[in-house]
Chain A
Amino acid sequence: MEALKRNWYKFSESKISVVGLVLAVTFIFLAFFGKYLVPYPEHIGSYVDFTKTSLAPSSKYLCGTDVMGRDIFSRIIGSFRNTLMMGVIVLLISAPVGFIVGVIAGYHKGKPIDTILMRITDIFLSIPPLILALAIASVLEPNLTNSMLAVTVMWWPWYARLSYGVTSSLRTENYIIYAELAGAKLPHIIFKEILPNCLSAILTKMTLDMGYVIIMGATLSFAGMGEQAPKPALGSMISSGVKYMPAQWWFTIFPAIAIMLIVLGFNLLGDGISNMLGTEEI
């Protein structure tokens, strides 16, 4: 409790981190409960009302309506669940996978298994992630699950690098050597001795990465490889709105602002946590 209070004090010292926390918590809250709070929940799916198409923003339709006559505000909030899912699932899979690869390679530093694992990691890092993610997503059926898969495949190497660095510097520490001498098995050393030392770095990186994964997901969806219509996705809302610019600017501007605020929230939060824990930005 005392530690929590101290951490909160340190975290809230920087007002801008608190702004990030508020933005991120609001986003997560809306991702869970937004469906029940938006003015027109039925507009989130396939709904058509040709009497109300392309209306400019007003008090009735905060962000205007789209070509199908659907409320854009409701659709933006409605897309939050998938946006959040994208970030959470990608990170929840890629962080452990990367950790295991990195820790095994780092623990066996200098042996063939280290070389093999880290060279495979290097191959994935040798190409801009977006390009291979696009290629992977294009091979598969375009939908949310596959776009998550494509991003995950490109994301674990960063965690492998991170855990590799920590592990290879830890493996000569006395407590690891004692554990080995006491006959501890590899899982014990990985999860009980090394993991606690990597955890704060990994968690910080996960918060910092959240924004980047969301940008990546939005980019794939912008290219037409994410959630398919009529379900709402921020990226595809922007790409389908571009051709109506500048007359119907609200088609694109509001989803764009939504992405910006979400990513901003997680970036500020991540910076705050990294300052609080004193972990270096990696």
Chain B
Amino acid sequence: MPSLLMIILRRLGWALVVLLGLSMIIFSLMRIIPGDPARLALGPTVPEEIVEQYRERMHYNEPLPIQYYYWIAGVVKGDFGKSTITNRPVSKDIKEFISATAELVIWAGIMPIFFALLLGVLGAMYKNRWPDYLIRFSSYVIIATPTFVWAVFFLLIFGYWLPILPSIGGRLTMGFSVPSVTGLMILDAFIDGQPAAAWDAFLHLSLPALALALPHTMQEARITRSYMIENEGKDYITMITSQGVPRNVINRLFLLKPSVIPTISIMGLDIASIFANAFLVETIFNWPGISRYALKAILGKDINAVCGVVMLFGVIFILTNILVDIVAMILDPRIRQSRSK
């Protein structure tokens, strides 16, 4: 039987193949844009000789596979080319904007872990009584509402009617200045010894993170609830109950763990869709993150930036899924066994 390490290595190997495929798709996609990429990059007023020089330098005159070779050779070294919007290397842009998104996604990813489990367990404990009905009804409504609509609702409610939380204007109130160490504003503020700034950064973070996390929280709560209920009917629970083990001990030790594993597997996929939905949420809340940058790049047909960001998202998505799989394997011996076959 191969060890956990072997399984992980094999997964990583496949991940490389998948990423290579993704890079080919996104590269050819961005090269079939109607129009001349060199012209698009330099603008209409630049004389033709300079455009031609630029074309020569960027290998735009070569056939597509050769262009791809030059591009991927750069990507491997971390060079995604230059963004035509910010006029800087894409890798530099990514470095600058990724931390704001990371902070947002981390919060939006952590929040569901607590609330989804709490609501799911509550729903299962009060099955078919009013708390369960309330949670189920609100989860239906919340899941049916697109994330960007939540962002707009929150902007309206908290930004104008009930101004207790900052809703626009980035990550910090003017006046605070936090030196960047990790890039995560809250952490940086603590490192610098400014708890007030950390609190302020947290307040700025809470609305966009909540908008991102809400639908996933309810989705995961539903899954937790249904697995709790399914496992509750199993023989081993009946047996422990008949032996007189207290209810809360059963819930904690025997029911929660097997019911939570499917939820954790879903969370991997959810992190990905949190990243995707961050596109609009960041734009609505004016959050200076990578998704807002990417949306600008997509709308402005900034070829190198789009390719770079899509590749980055692909890497993050694949790594998250492998990580989640490992966690599930550690928690559940059955998954461990089936994966190693």
Write the residues of chain A forming the contact surface with B, with a CB cutoff of 8 angstroms. 16, 119-120, 122-123, 126-132, 134-136, 138-139, 211, 215, 218-219, 222-224, 238, 242, 245-246, 249, 252-253, 256, 259-261, 263-264, 267-268
Contacts and interface: CB of A to CB of B under 8 A. Distances in A.
A150 to B, nearest CB: 10
Contacts of B279: 130-131, 134, 223
B25 A123 contact: yes
Nearest to A132: B310
A259 B145 CA distance: 7
Contact of B140 (A122, A215, A256, A264): A264
Give 10 closest A-B pairs by Cβ, nearest first: A128-B276, A130-B276, A264-B144, A123-B21, A246-B160, A263-B144, A138-B298, A128-B272, A256-B149, A215-B146
A38 to B, nearest CB: 23
Contacts of B273: 128, 130
Contact of B29 (A123, A130, A139): A139
Given A119-B18, A120-B21, A252 B152 contact: yes
A260 B141 contact: yes
B301 interface: yes
B145, B159, B273, most chain A CB atoms within 10 A: B145
A139 B146 CA distance: 24
B19 interface: yes
A246 B161 contact: yes
A260 B277 contact: no
State the majority secondary structure of interface residues on B. helix
A245 B306 CA distance: 31
Given A130-B277, A263-B145, A119 B17 contact: yes
A128 B298 contact: no
B148 A222 contact: yes
Given A128-B276, A135-B306, A211-B144, A245 B295 contact: no
B152 A219 contact: no
B141, B148, B277, B313, most chain A CB atoms within 10 A: B148
A135 B297 CA distance: 9
B152, B160, B306, most chain A CB atoms within 10 A: B152
B256 interface: no
Contacts of A259: 145-146, 149
Given A242-B152, A260-B144, 18 more contacts: A126-B19, A126-B22, A127-B317, A128-B272, A128-B276, A131-B313, A135-B310, A139-B30, A222-B146, A245-B155, A252-B156, A256-B149, A259-B145, A263-B144, A263-B146, A264-B141, A264-B144, A268-B140
Contacts of A134: 279, 295, 298
Contact of B152 (A211, A215, A224, A256): A256
B246 to A, nearest CB: 33
A223 B300 CA distance: 12
B148 A238 contact: yes
B279 to A, nearest CB: 7
B249 to A, nearest CB: 31
Interface string B92-113: 0000000000000000000000
